[in-house]
Structure 1
Amino acid sequence: MRPPSACVACRDRRKRCHRPRRGTSCTFCIARGLQCTVEQTPGAARPRGYEPLVSPGGNPGGNSALMPDRDLCNELVDLYFRYIHVTFHNLFHRPSFEHGLRDGSIPKILVFAVFGLSARFSSHPSFAGVDPRERGRPYAKEAERLLDLHKTCLTTIQACVLLGAVQVAEMDSATESIFYTIACRLAMILDLPNAPAETRLEQEVNLRVWWSVVTTDTWSSTAMGLPRAIQPRHDIPMPMDERVFLALTSADPPVSQQGRDAVVSPRSELSTSLIAQMIKLNGILYDINTFNTQLVSGILQELGARDAVTKLSAALDAWRSELPTDMEYTRDNLLYWAGRGCGASFVVLHLNYNHSSQLLFYSFLHSSLALDHHHDDASTTPTSAYAAKCKSHAASLCEIMYAAAAAADAPAAVEVLYPLAGHMLVVASTVHLHALLFSADDAEIALAKARLEHNFGIITRLQTYWPSLHASFSRLAAFHRACLDDKSNNDNLNDDAGGGGTFRLDRWMLRFLLDFAKPVGERDRRGREVRHRLPPT
């Protein structure tokens, strides 16, 4: 059996080159931050990759009958990068993907997985009469058939993330978690951020896929109530500026580990990269979700909870204050980023910020009612101030969604139509429902009612594309019924906490806030789930 090839560093020191698995950096290079470069010997065996879209002989391989014609292929790829890429994950370099589609070199599994997500948005005549939610299913099934877990490579990771996103749409959270966990394990096995790469573009794609896996796992594991499958690492640099990334070509040579650390330091890239800002914000979101979970479980007592909220609120404020001027939320900045093909990234960044904030302050909606009922100066208390912040961020989240949908004069589409946006709107809608039920301000009540109606229309539209939005509707309906029951039974101001018991942060409410892919059952007076009730589709 041929001995494993040694990297240049280990060969020069005449030591054995040990790497956990073929294709990964060796332990010596990882420990010292070196670029692990293996000199391939003539005739060295390479692992067989996935089947390309077009075989070397020029013929389409695999299930060619399922492959759309050229025009539809181009449309579906464009729709993927318009509505899916970045909102779900950040797996590809668009110019390279489109080049691979043209010359047939891109793995077929990735093409089918992409179509499985984007076909729902197509208006192509071949989909006439087919429910948008069903158009991508044949492609997704073919991608799942092509998946080979024996192929330990970047393509398998990308395919698993794409197929996990398909399962999010289909409300199959168990299978979603399995796909994402496989992607996490493979990324760790390959030590993806440090994996050998032949070009700078390949290095950056590896880095972005790594951070996409980390970010996706944060949302998925939280929703499932499971430990993280992958831990963020502080020794991994942030992604580069999106504008620079899109301009990379396969002719750009790779940089050494030392060179990459110098060029792509975490601090400098946070000031220029939308994706890097999302990654930093994602870390705060994870801490907020942990805080709410600990609050419900009783791990945090009152004093500890106050300290935690103060620290997390300060972290969000610091993140917001450190944004460069061109990343602050303004209409001019929205148009600026749209003109550079990053409008959706900009919108998602600010949606995530406001959603993280409304989650942090959500528990104060309930406790603020007691203060309002018993204290004339309640508006000056920290509890009431936090409740006001929750309402403010819920309002901002909605206004950003409305502006993105209405930006017809933007250089490129910035409307976001991904399932998680529906969940964010559901949470924001319950905040507006709080104002509708308990505010004494007629103007605030009228505005809350208008936002609820607008949100209902957006969620209805999202439901035409994503089966999982059926769960979002059922969750909002369950919450509304709980509010009505609470109002009927207690007049909303007579329970021990001062009324509005529906907004109390208990296990039912925690699941409502975090587990976005499933319906929730009815809630009894003790905050227990008593049954599931789904409205008709």
Structure 2
Amino acid sequence: MQTREHLVDLYLQLIHDKPHTLFHPPTLRAQVREDAVPRVILFSIMSLAARFSDDPSTSQRTKEFFNYAKDSFRMDLFNMSLENIQAAVLVGNLCGVEGQPELESLFFGIAFRLAQIIRLPTPNLEDGAVSREVKLRTWWTLYMIDRWSSAGLSVPQQLSDDDHFHHLPMPELKFWHLKPDHPQSEEHYHNESHGLWGYMVMLARIFGHIQNLHKSLADGALNDMEAEQRTRNLAHELERYIDLLPLEIHFSVENLKNHAALGLGRAFVALHLGYHHYATLLYFPYLDHQQRETPNRAMYSSRCKHHAVQFSDILKLSHEVKDCEALYFIVGHMTVVSSAALIHTLLFGQQEELPQTRSRLCDNFAILLKLREYWPAVELMIERLFTFQKVCMWSMEKIYTVDKWVVKFLLQHALPIEEFSTMPPLSERGKFANDTLSILRRPNMFTV
């Protein structure tokens, strides 16, 4: 029982409310103490958390717990319930981190269909405030997963933006302090600022539009001016998003520490890493030197580099401020995209940019190697950086064109990417970049 409680605490600290939000933490802890958590949910949580345990006898059981979770799910597959939706999400996450993207998509697909069958997140008359909010958060978790998993595996989205009439999640502290017998009320959602997860959902909507833009570019469906117009519109959406954020949720060291003191430091970091990642994706095509000059190309290229730098700096800071470190799985892919933009600067930027760029890349690489200790599939993400470097090296004057390969690199994080078997002769700048990337082949250089 002590091990269970410890692993559930680790899960709630390091994972929950970052890539997904499925439970009311006080209720989950009470259910663990009462041995009332469904086996599949308990084993899934233990598998996700065990890798972070300092006890080798526990951390070595990660795959054992994973197998128990899959077996438990199969035995209860026909249970049309909220708990089985939560279980499908957790097992799907486990499949993803173990490098099984097809199974990940399968479990997520089951979760989507179950949610539609039971009419999630519509509350029942007997639901209290906690049950209503848990259903709402589970629904928005599915929305977030749909945006990420559809991009990662290049499959159609299952949940439409037309479903956005549901309330956004309430502030996390208010939710945590609700009692199980507290009656549901519309007042919880009126005249109230959103929780961190509410703001994450708003970003995920913009992310979906950025995906669509990249796909249109890859398919040749847009000319340069049309692409720039759509980019401009999405840039305005991101700007309006930042303007909407309350001052206490804007990123600053003070706000980070304030959120950490409330137990929300890691979720606060997740929100801002997501913002800078989506912005980097939006502007990434403008790093393409083969693109014909358009009015805002230079500005958008500069913005891409800016957001990649901001992502790197926030990620590094998260590991320096207590209770803020970003260790959930998808941070690996976001860090790879940030690193790719930094590699571009290393290859094509100004001489005075190189020292700080190399330093940030080293910081990113140190965290990638740390993530790889916990999440096996991060190894594939790291390999994508070497492939990206090879693509860049094919021409030191003109980088890649925005084609299907680049879309795969930016969005399809769960799929392998085409390798390039040979490398052209390296220029001096290329050797500098190659030496920096080689750090990922020599992990003993870091203490992580």
Q: TM-score, normalised by structure 1?
A: 0.75
User: Taking structure 1 as reference, are residues 175 and 536 closer, same or farther at Cα in structure 2, changes over 3 Å only?
Assistant: farther
1:190 aligns with 2:118: yes
In 1, the alpha carbon distance for the partners of 2:346 and 2:127 equals 58
In 2, the alpha carbon distance for the partners of 1:141 and 1:458 equals 28
- Tell which structure's C-alpha radius of gyration is larger: 1
Within the candidate set 368, 373, 377, 1:459 is matched to 368
The amino acid across from 2:151 in the alignment is: T
C-alpha distance after superposition, 1:282-335 (max 9, x if no partner): 000010011011111012222321210110000000001110011000011111
The amino acid across from 1:227 in the alignment is: P
C-alpha distance after superposition, 1:94-128 (max 9, x if no partner): 1100011111222222111101111111112524x
Q: Which residue of 2 aligns with 1:286?
A: 208
Farther-moved stretch of structure 1 (516-525 vs 103-112): 516-525
1:236 aligns with 2:166: yes
The amino acid across from 2:406 in the alignment is: M
In 1, the alpha carbon distance for the partners of 2:403 and 2:290 equals 16
Alpha-carbon shift at residue 231 of structure 1 (Å)? 2.2
Q: Which residue of 2 aligns with 1:142?
A: 68
Q: Which residue of 1 aligns with 2:334?
A: 424
The answer to whether the 8 Å contact 2:290/2:399 transfers is: no
C-alpha distance after superposition, 1:55-85 (max 9, x if no partner): xxxxxxxxxxxxxxx2211211111111111
In 2, the alpha carbon distance for the partners of 1:420 and 1:236 equals 26
Within the candidate set 467, 471, 481, 2:390 is matched to 481
C-alpha distance after superposition, 1:129-173 (max 9, x if no partner): xxx5x6311112112111212110011000000000001101211
Segments of structure 2 that go 5 or more residues without pairing to the other structure are 423-440, 444-448
1:201 aligns with 2:201: no
Within the candidate set 393, 396, 408, 1:511 is matched to 408
Name the SS of the counterpart of 2:288 in structure 1.
helix
The answer to whether the 8 Å contact 1:140/1:166 transfers is: yes
1:102 aligns with 2:30: no
In 2, the alpha carbon distance for the partners of 1:138 and 1:335 equals 37
In 1, the alpha carbon distance for the partners of 2:307 and 2:279 equals 6
Q: Which residue of 2 aligns with 1:438?
A: 348
Give matches, 1:43-54, under 5 Å.
none
Q: TM-score, normalised by structure 2?
A: 0.90
User: Taking structure 1 as reference, are residues 343 and 365 closer, same or farther at Cα in structure 2, changes over 3 Å only?
Assistant: same
In 2, the alpha carbon distance for the partners of 1:195 and 1:453 equals 48
The answer to whether the 8 Å contact 1:80/1:118 transfers is: yes
Q: Which residue of 2 aligns with 1:21?
A: none
Alpha-carbon shift at residue 454 of structure 1 (Å)? 1.4
Alpha-carbon shift at residue 418 of structure 1 (Å)? 1.5
In 2, the alpha carbon distance for the partners of 1:473 and 1:234 equals 35
In 2, the alpha carbon distance for the partners of 1:212 and 1:515 equals 19
In 2, the alpha carbon distance for the partners of 1:252 and 1:450 equals 51
The answer to whether the 8 Å contact 2:143/2:159 transfers is: yes
The amino acid across from 1:161 in the alignment is: V
In 1, the alpha carbon distance for the partners of 2:56 and 2:331 equals 28
C-alpha distance after superposition, 1:454-510 (max 9, x if no partner): 1111111111111111101110111122223x14xxxx22xxxxx123xx2211111
User: Taking structure 1 as reference, are residues 314 and 523 closer, same or farther at Cα in structure 2, changes over 3 Å only?
Assistant: farther
In 1, the alpha carbon distance for the partners of 2:360 and 2:403 equals 26
The answer to whether the 8 Å contact 1:368/1:387 transfers is: no
The amino acid across from 2:370 in the alignment is: R
Within the candidate set 141, 147, 154, 2:82 is matched to 154
The amino acid across from 1:462 in the alignment is: L
In 1, the alpha carbon distance for the partners of 2:243 and 2:285 equals 24
Name the SS of the counterpart of 1:419 in structure 2.
coil
Q: Which residue of 1 aligns with 2:189?
A: 264
The amino acid across from 2:164 in the alignment is: H
The answer to whether the 8 Å contact 1:169/1:468 transfers is: yes
C-alpha distance after superposition, 1:15-50 (max 9, x if no partner): xxxxxxxxxxxxxxxxxxxxxxxxxxxxxxxxxxxx
Alpha-carbon shift at residue 272 of structure 1 (Å)? 3.3
Q: Which residue of 1 aligns with 2:437?
A: none
In 2, the alpha carbon distance for the partners of 1:386 and 1:83 equals 34
In 2, the alpha carbon distance for the partners of 1:310 and 1:482 equals 27
1:180 aligns with 2:180: no
User: Taking structure 1 as reference, are residues 505 and 523 closer, same or farther at Cα in structure 2, changes over 3 Å only?
Assistant: farther
The answer to whether the 8 Å contact 1:361/1:390 transfers is: yes
Q: Which residue of 2 aligns with 1:319?
A: 241
Moved over 6 A (4+): none
Q: How large is the RMSD of aligned CA atoms in angstroms?
A: 2.1
Alpha-carbon shift at residue 199 of structure 1 (Å)? 0.9
Q: How many residues align?
A: 422
The answer to whether the 8 Å contact 1:85/1:91 transfers is: yes
In 2, the alpha carbon distance for the partners of 1:254 and 1:213 equals 22
Segments of structure 1 that go 5 or more residues without pairing to the other structure are 1-69, 372-377, 494-498, 526-534
User: Taking structure 1 as reference, are residues 506 and 536 closer, same or farther at Cα in structure 2, changes over 3 Å only?
Assistant: farther
The answer to whether the 8 Å contact 2:22/2:134 transfers is: yes
Structure with higher helix content: 2
In 1, the alpha carbon distance for the partners of 2:26 and 2:416 equals 39
Within the candidate set 148, 170, 175, 1:219 is matched to 148
Q: Which residue of 1 aligns with 2:264?
A: 342
Q: Which residue of 1 aligns with 2:436?
A: none
1:361 aligns with 2:361: no
In 2, the alpha carbon distance for the partners of 1:389 and 1:450 equals 19
In 2, the alpha carbon distance for the partners of 1:93 and 1:417 equals 21
Name the SS of the counterpart of 1:90 in structure 2.
coil
Give matches, 1:487-502, under 5 Å.
487=395, 492-493=396-397, 499-501=398-400
The answer to whether the 8 Å contact 2:21/2:137 transfers is: yes
In 2, the alpha carbon distance for the partners of 1:519 and 1:217 equals 20
C-alpha distance after superposition, 1:195-221 (max 9, x if no partner): 314311111101100110111111001
Within the candidate set 321, 324, 328, 1:414 is matched to 324
User: Taking structure 1 as reference, are residues 205 and 112 closer, same or farther at Cα in structure 2, changes over 3 Å only?
Assistant: same
The answer to whether the 8 Å contact 1:171/1:518 transfers is: no
Alpha-carbon shift at residue 228 of structure 1 (Å)? 1.1
